[in-house]
């Protein structure tokens, strides 16, 4: 792990290391150094503002200036300010105000596209956006959605592509990815190209195999298999939605 040293004579520009960031390093650091070491989530609001500022002004270090700005203008207020209003704040000015406005605008655009927002699975139909592309596939696609402890999808993987009526899946492929991505649970899903809404014997046997394997993995890594979902095209069946343990059948138009 890299160790960061502070420069003598710049004590007004440094901030104490956040004790919430687990590390053996206890030296004081600049906000940018803490970001590299601990990640952006560990930084306080004024530290993030200090990084945008870059420098303070005569007699006031960047961290001190950032603290005073955040104390007077909370982050939600800063994000709503115009370029002119930001530039009028002591310690920001025209050039740094442009940096703030650009950063806020990028954030807004990212949020509009859903970037950084993890989908939450609270009911079977919540999987539709993540799995709709397999409903009309001519071969069986076995897909796993990996969830964190808050039931947010953190990773998706096509584990197997099979034939018209079957796919070959091994528990190793399913749960290894769960470990690699620190998942708390796994949702199993596959399509039925035939349009048959009923789980086949092979489906039932595979689900039981994966549930049994999930118990073993859960004892070692606290990972569980949540549900097995079948994605079907509604045009191939009269059913709309049906729930039958351990399967959920989601039919799409």
Whether cis (ω within 30° of 0) applies to the bond prior to 25 is no
Mean pLDDT taken over the chain: 75
| Same domain as 135, residue 162 | yes
Asked if residue 205 belongs to a domain, the reply is yes
| Same domain as 142, residue 95 | no
pLDDT (0 to 100) of residue 46: 93
> 43-54 burial, b if ≥16 CB within 10 A, otherwise e?
bbebbbbbbbbe
What span, in angstroms and rounded, lies between the C-alpha atoms of 40 and 139?
A: 43
- For the chain, the domain total comes to 2
Convert the pLDDT of each residue in 77-97 to its tens digit: 999 999 999 999 999 999 999
pLDDT (0 to 100) of residue 15: 40
Domain boundary among 112, 132, 167: 112
Asked if residue 139 belongs to a domain, the reply is yes
Domain boundary among 112, 132, 152: 112
Domain around 95: 11-112
| Same domain as 171, residue 63 | no
pLDDT at 18 over 60: no
pTM of the model: 0.48
Confidence of residue 179 (pLDDT cuts 50, 70, 90): confident
């Amino acid at each position: 792990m890299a160790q960061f040293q502070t420069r003598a004579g710049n004590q007004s520009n440094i901030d104490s290391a956040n004790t919430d960031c687990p590390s053996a390093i206890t030296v004081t650091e600049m906000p940018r150094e803490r970001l590299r070491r601990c990640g952006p989530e560990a930084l306080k609001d004024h530290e993030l503002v200090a990084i945008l500022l870059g420098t303070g002004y005569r007699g006031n270090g960047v961290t001190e200036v950032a603290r005073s700005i955040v104390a007077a203008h909370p982050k939600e207020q800063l994000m709503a300010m115009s370029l002119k209003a930001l530039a009028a704040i002591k310690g920001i000015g025209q050039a740094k105000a442009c940096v703030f406005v650009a950063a806020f605008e990028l954030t807004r655009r990212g949020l509009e596209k859903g970037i950084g927002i993890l989908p939450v699975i609270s009911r079977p139909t919540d999987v539709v956006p993540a799995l709709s592309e397999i409903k009309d596939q001519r071969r069986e696609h076995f897909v796993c959605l990996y969830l964190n402890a808050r039931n947010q999808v953190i990773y998706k993987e096509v584990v197997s592509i099979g034939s018209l009526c079957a796919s070959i899946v091994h528990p190793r492929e399913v749960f290894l990815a769960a470990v690699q991505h620190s998942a708390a649970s796994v949702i199993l899903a596959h399509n039925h190209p035939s349009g048959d809404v009923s789980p086949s014997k092979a489906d039932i046997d595979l689900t039981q195999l994966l549930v049994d394997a999930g118990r073993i993995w859960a004892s070692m890594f606290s990972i569980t298999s949540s549900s097995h979902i079948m994605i079907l095209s509604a045009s191939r069946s009269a059913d709309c939605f049906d729930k039958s343990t351990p399967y959920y059948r989601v039919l799409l138009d």
